[in-house]
């Protein structure tokens, strides 16, 4: 049963980044498969083919540094905005900028990052014909060994970026000593609960928690957030909306990556080749994760941030029991390239 004392979020809708070179960043984002929906003087809104009016805010940095300015979460009712505005370190209820309008509240989390709650956005009609790069605009159906539903239809594709459906998650790494406080803060504030946990076999303490949005019996993505302390990046894993972890080499909280859903492996692989041909730096992929099961593909943008394409992820609800498993080198992926150092550190020069 939902805890209605918490802010009831229904989905993660967008992330907000600052870039030292907005023009270069926007070129990458288009090659990544996002679509420009609104351009302002120092800010560009990018969307996908799903219902959210935008998925990514790219803003010109005031200096030469890149920055993450938080995630934007849609809430179930205006009453949830009232709850949010009553929390410590919260703004008043404000008009929301950008496509879709609505109203918002911004809260600063214990590590200094904003988290925005939004309600009343005007949503788009999803454009399913944009989900695939198949020339006939129909998503591919795979012929398997014992079942072959695709009969008399040939698969032909156009080269280009992976069309993006929605934002899946962002990965959040915090100092080990702040892990428990951050975990408690988020799980007390909003309706996220564990799907899977990874624990240290020596101490029995959780080192990674994959969190999904609790919508009761309604199925939702396996992880809307993951929490990891900073000394556990050797077993770093993936999440669906917020990803929380810890890193011994960095004593400040930082966002490791943001992840966007694409329709299928064909769309993902075509986008992988498109980005490679454009000369961008692959971080890790293509491969398949263990926890969450997603097919993943991570790339560095022109500012040094990591963005992920994912497809074919697990769904859970309140009938699916959470699991715990010990840390292990093979907990990250079942197939694909070996885990590179640059994924562990989040730094392209590694």
pLDDT digits (tens, 9 = 90+) for 267-314: 999 999 999 999 999 999 999 999 899 999 999 999 999 999 999 999
Model's pTM, two decimal places?
A: 0.92
- Report residue 253's pLDDT band, with 50, 70 and 90 as the boundaries: confident
Residue 59 confidence (pLDDT): 99
Residue 133 confidence (pLDDT): 96
- Report residue 106's pLDDT band, with 50, 70 and 90 as the boundaries: very high
CB 117 within 8 A of CB 81: yes
Residue 237 predicted with pLDDT over 80: no
For 9-122+161-345, give the CATH class: alpha beta
Joined together, the tokens standing for residue 341 give 């150092």
pLDDT mean over 202-207 = 84
Burial (Cβ within 10 Å: 0-12, 13-18, ≥19) of residue 349: exposed
Q: Which residues contact 165 (CB under 8 A, 6 or more apart)?
A: 48, 49, 50, 131, 260, 261, 262, 263
Q: Which residues contact 105 (CB under 8 A, 6 or more apart)?
A: 81, 84, 85, 90, 91, 92, 93, 94, 116, 117
- 47-51, 127-131, 298-302: least confidently modelled range: 127-131
Distances (CA, A) of 282 to 87, 166, 236, 275, 343: 40, 21, 18, 8, 10
- Report residue 238's pLDDT band, with 50, 70 and 90 as the boundaries: very low
All structural domains of the chain with their residue ranges: 9-122+161-345
Q: Give CA–CA dist 287/193, Å, rounded.
A: 26
CB 54 within 8 A of CB 46: yes
- Greatest CA separation for the chain: 61
CB 78 within 8 A of CB 96: no
Joined together, the tokens standing for residue 338 give 């070996």
Opening angle at CA 120, ends 78 and 56, nearest 5: 120
């Amino acid at each position: 049963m939902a805890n209605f004392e918490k802010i009831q979020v229904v989905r993660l809708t967008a992330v907000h980044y600052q870039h030292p070179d907005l023009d270069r960043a926007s070129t990458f984002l288009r090659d990544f498969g996002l679509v420009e929906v609104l351009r302002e003087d120092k800010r560009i809104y990018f969307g996908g083919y799903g219902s959210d009016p935008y998925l990514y805010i790219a803003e010109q940095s005031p200096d030469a540094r890149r920055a993450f300015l938080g995630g934007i979460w849609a809430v179930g009712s205006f009453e949830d905005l009232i709850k949010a505005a009553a929390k410590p370190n919260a703004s008043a209820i404000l008009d929301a900028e950008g496509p879709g309008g609505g109203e918002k509240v911004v809260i600063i989390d214990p590590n200094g990052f904003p988290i925005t709650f939004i309600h009343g956005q005007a949503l788009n009609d999803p454009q399913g014909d944009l989900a695939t790069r198949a020339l006939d605009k129909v998503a591919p159906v795979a012929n398997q060994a014992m079942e072959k539903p695709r009969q008399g239809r040939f698969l032909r594709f156009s080269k280009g970026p992976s069309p993006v459906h929605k934002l899946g998650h962002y990965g959040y790494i915090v100092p080990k000593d702040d892990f428990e406080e951050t975990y408690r803060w988020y799980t007390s504030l909003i309706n996220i609960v564990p799907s899977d946990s990874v624990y240290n076999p020596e101490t029995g303490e959780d080192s990674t928690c994959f969190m999904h949005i609790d919508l009761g019996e309604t199925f939702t993505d396996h992880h809307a957030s993951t929490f990891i302390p900073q000394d556990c990046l050797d077993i770093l894993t993936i999440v669906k909306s917020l990803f929380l972890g810890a890193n011994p080499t960095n004593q400040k909280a930082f966002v490791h990556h943001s992840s966007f859903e694409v329709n299928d492996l064909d769309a993902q692989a075509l986008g992988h080749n498109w980005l490679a041909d454009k000369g961008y730096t692959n971080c890790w992929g293509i491969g398949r994760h263990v926890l969450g099961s997603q097919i993943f593909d991570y790339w560095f943008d022109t500012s040094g941030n990591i963005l992920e394409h994912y497809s074919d992820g697990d769904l859970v609800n309140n009938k699916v029991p959470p699991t715990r498993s010990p840390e292990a080198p093979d907990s990250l992926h079942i197939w694909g390239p070996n885990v590179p150092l640059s994924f562990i550190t989040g730094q392209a020069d590694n």
